[in-house]
Structure 1
Amino acid sequence: MPTYPPEPWHLAGQMFLSLWVVPRRRLPVLPDAVKPLTVAGRAVIGGAWVVYERDSVLHYNELLTAVLVRDGLRPRVTITDIWVDSEQSRDGGRRLWGIPKDMARFDITRGARITFAASERTPLASAAFHVRHRLPGRWPASYQVCQDLDGRLKTSPVRSRSTLRLARGGWEIPARSAVPLPARPPTVSLALEDFTLTFGAGESARSPRLSS
């Protein structure tokens, strides 16, 4: 029997997000059925540290990278690499949605500056965020995540709401790290404070099998 919750997962917590604009050739591998969303040969890749807490169906920490893609003409997001410190999250993410979660150990310090570090056998990444100006209101977001699940494209809805703050994010990616982010400062960083998020739907949504 599965030891993880069924979808959708209702989650809440804190997210610290950075975005980079990179040449298409620098992107990690994507599912065959999607293409990167590019302008003048450049694409957007993001890195995020997430603390799932409060009313979340599971409590855990996470480091992920994702790329802005398109499914036909429809904009989507694909998670390319992700690490968590919960076996339930790892197993559920892989089996429900095809999200390639691996295990890692996290060190997090909260204060005026929020610091993160994640490692498996060797260090993965570390980051420090200085939270700055708060944008008024609670900001909704709705998008679709596309992943390769057993040779098919699984498209999952995500709905969230959060308080947004501008932030200054500094990342350190060791040379041998598996984290596919640029070794330079991000283009923009944000803090999504006290977010609520629903990931997935009650029914699976799949397209025809991906080509081999």
Structure 2
Amino acid sequence: MTHPPEPWKLRGDLHLSVWFLRERDWEVPEETSVVRLGPWCVVGTAWVDYRPGSVLTYRELMSTLLVRKGLRLYPTITRIWVDSPRSRDGGRALWGIPKELAEFTVDGPEWTATSIARARVRPGARLPGRWPVAFRVAQTLAGKLKLSRVRSTSGLRFARVDWDAGAPLPFLTAHSPALSLTLTDFDMTFGEARTH
């Protein structure tokens, strides 16, 4: 299965929830360590719809963990599912992102990744303007730390996301997110053009 070269230009909507969860046995990239706020780790989960205008169109569910290298903070993707084999293959080969395949259904506010999780998304108040963000994602690629650049602008809304997670995301059971946001009509660049 072939995949597009980096960088990937992506457009769509992203529904993000932030959680403060007690420490567990996280597997993190070389040279990084888990960010702890007392007994808590910072976890992000997101449903994403990559729409036409993207290098690939697909849906995605992911879980990330906040880690650090020295004083720099990075998200690392711990579990992720997509409904596109090309996205799976590209994520693994280019950035060390451990993408797996899943079936997704979206029915209005209801999102489902079969046998993994489901959620009900209720957007709230919209913040004015478009919001830029830039960061790097930390993964392991070929046994080494890989830091991949992400740049995005989007609209921003507060949201309520009610999660019902199954066995692949057991750490979400019996917890509620501290904050949920919807990034609307994002315009994202993931990765960088290779110069060699």
* Counterpart in the other structure of 2:142: 150
Partner residue of 2:20? 21
| Residue 178 (1) aligns with residue 168 (2) | yes
Q: Decide whether aligned partners of structure 1 residues 93 and 72 sit closer, same or farther in structure 2, where only a CA change above 3 A counts.
A: same
| Structure 1 residues 190 and 27: alpha-carbon distance in aligned structure 2, compared to 1, 3 A threshold | farther
Aligned match of 2:123? 131
TM-score normalised according to structure 2 size: 0.95
Residue 82 of structure 2 aligns with an amino acid whose one-letter code is: V
Distance 1:187 1:27, change over 3 A: farther
| Map of 1:99 onto structure 2 | 97
Amino acid at match of 2:125: H
Contact 1:3/1:88 (8 A) holds in 2: yes
Please, which runs of 5 or more residues in structure 2 have no aligned partner? none
Q: Give TM-score scaled by structure 1 length.
A: 0.88
Whole-angstrom CA distance in 2 between matches of 1:80 and 1:86: 18
Deviation at 1:26, TM superposition (A): 2.6
> Which residue of the other structure, out of 101, 106, 113, is the alignment partner of 1:118?
113
1:30 shift after superposition:
1.4
Match of 1:62 among 60, 63, 69: 60
In the alignment, the residues of structure 1 paired with residue 25 and residue 69 of structure 2 have an alpha-carbon distance, to the nearest angstrom, of 17
Residues 139 and 39 of structure 1, relative CA distance in 2, 3 Å threshold: same
Question: In the alignment, what sits opposite 2:180?
Answer: 189
> Within 1, Cα distance between the matches of 2:141 and 2:36?
24
Identity over the aligned pairs, expressed in percent? 46
State the alpha-carbon separation in 1 of the partners of residues 41 and 184 from structure 2: 26
- Distance in 1 between the 2:3 and 2:30 partners? 28
Q: 2:74 aligns with which of 65, 73, 76?
A: 76
- Which amino acid letter does the alignment assign opposite residue 81 of structure 1? R
Q: Which amino acid aligns with 1:117?
A: T
Number of residues of Structure 1 aligned to a counterpart in Structure 2: 194
Q: What is the RMSD of the two structures over their aligned residues, measured on CA atoms?
A: 1.4
Question: Deviation of residue 180 (structure 1)?
Answer: 4.7
- AA of the residue aligned to 1:115: E
Aligned partner of residue 137 in structure 1, secondary structure: strand
Displacement of 1:181: 3.9
1:47 alignment partner AA: T
